[in-house]
Amino acid sequence: MMHEDYKELLALEAAGALDAGERGALLEHLPSCEECRAELRELADAAAALVYTVEPVRPPAELRAHVLARVRGVDPSEARAADTSAAFVDPSEVAVDPSEAHAGSRPEESRNGRARRTSTSTSDARGLLSGFSLWQILTARPSLGFGAAFASIVVVLLGVTSLLLWSQNRTLSAEVARLYDRLRETQGEMAGQREQLASARDVNELLLAPGARFAELSGKKPAPQAHAMLAYDRATGRAVIMATGLPPCPAGHSYQLWLIAGDKNPMPGGTFKTDAGGRARMSDRLPADVGQPTFAVTLEREGGVSSPEGEVFMASSAS
């Protein structure tokens, strides 16, 4: 059988109107087809709900008399057999034709008539249910249609809510990333400010020292616009230089401070580089107890050298 053939049997199976052969073939197909199993469950629920859509019908007043007359004429063993199969017979099948009751028909004829009516009712049910679609069953029971519509609305609302939450999450993630970058920038700025404060504190302490000496360095031929102020404590050798107007250092080079004492060879100090504006500040530790020192700044290899090799960019006179 084709898949569509099995789908045509689902409504009949939901109503219990399949014969043994068709039902066996359908039961063999269902374990391997999730679509048919889902549709059968929906049809079975809808078929069960159809019971509540039918208005109750009061039986005819003479039905009780006909039923009692038939019961008196049935053998007890047959009654037990009838009770066993009663759960599988449609209630309409027990309706008795008044002509049969008055004619005193035989039990065999009555059973044959019931069998014919059962077959006819089954065929009618098969024809009726085979024409039903799931939408027709839902519209036959308004509460089922309302439930399906409500479920659809809930699904749509959940989808919209999920989309909004996803969008908000992306926005919040971008905002967190922006704040994190700003935090790193602020931390860098604070570190620079702490360094400047520490340097300023060293300068202030050095300027207030009793043995502090000051020297002014002027620019030489490579940088005539350069200028620097230097504070030197003879007792401790601490020194601070603040320079402006120096050109940027070439790659692999840095500026180096030198202390010159009379005719002695220049004594090396620390190295430094300028910022983008040509400014520089450096705290250093030079030899102590040097009387009447002079200072110079040369351009040397990065990391410094033990004796001057490069050009002099700034120099001072004796203080």
Write down which residue in 208, 234, 259 finishes a domain: 208
User: Same domain for 123 and 163?
Assistant: no
The pLDDT value given to residue 92 = 45
pLDDT band of 144, cuts 50, 70, 90 = low
251 touches 238 (CB < 8 A) = no
pLDDT higher than 50, residue 101 = no
Phi and psi, residue 104, nearest 5°: 65, 45
Q: What is the mean pLDDT of residues 211-223?
A: 89
User: Same domain for 158 and 246?
Assistant: no
Distance CA 237, CA 14 (A): 104
User: Same domain for 219 and 201?
Assistant: no
Q: Kindly report which listed range (40-44, 81-85, 113-117, 280-284) carries the lowest average pLDDT score.
A: 81-85
User: Same domain for 11 and 124?
Assistant: yes
Q: Of 263, 210, 219, 217, nearest to 238 (Cα)?
A: 210
Q: Which SS3 state, helix, strand or coil, does residue 289 take? A: coil
User: Same domain for 150 and 192?
Assistant: yes
User: Same domain for 120 and 159?
Assistant: no
DSSP label at residue 58: P
Give the pair of three-digit tokens for residue 159: 């989808």
Q: Which SS3 state, helix, strand or coil, does residue 265 take? A: coil
pLDDT band of 260, cuts 50, 70, 90 = very high
Distance CA 121, CA 89 (A): 10
| CA atoms within a 13 Å half-sphere pointing along the CA-CB vector of 14 | 28
Q: Which SS3 state, helix, strand or coil, does residue 280 take? A: strand
Q: Of 284, 288, 286, 261, nearest to 271 (Cα)?
A: 284
User: Same domain for 198 and 120?
Assistant: no
> Which residue do the tokens 């302490």 mark?
205
The pLDDT value given to residue 315 = 95
Highest mean pLDDT range out of 10-14, 41-45, 209-213, 216-220? 216-220
User: Same domain for 14 and 122?
Assistant: yes
> Which residue do the tokens 């039903």 mark?
132
pLDDT higher than 90, residue 269 = yes
The pLDDT value given to residue 60 = 73
User: Same domain for 168 and 123?
Assistant: no
Domain enclosing residue 219, as ranges: 211-316
Domain total in the chain:
3
Q: Which SS3 state, helix, strand or coil, does residue 2 take? A: coil
286 by Cβ neighbours in 10 Å (0-12 / 13-18 / 19+) ranks as buried
pLDDT digits (tens, 9 = 90+) for 105-119: 444 544 555 555 555
User: Same domain for 36 and 127?
Assistant: yes
Strand partners, 254: 300
User: Same domain for 29 and 114?
Assistant: yes
Q: Kindly report which listed range (67-71, 127-131, 237-241, 272-276) carries the lowest average pLDDT score.
A: 127-131
Write down which residue in 208, 235, 252 finishes a domain: 208
Q: What is the mean pLDDT of residues 20-43?
A: 87
Q: What is the domain-level CATH number for residue 240? A: 2.60.40.200
Average pLDDT of the chain, as a whole number:
77
pTM: 0.41
User: Same domain for 192 and 218?
Assistant: no
The pLDDT value given to residue 26 = 83
Write down which residue in 98, 124, 140 finishes a domain: 140
292 by Cβ neighbours in 10 Å (0-12 / 13-18 / 19+) ranks as exposed
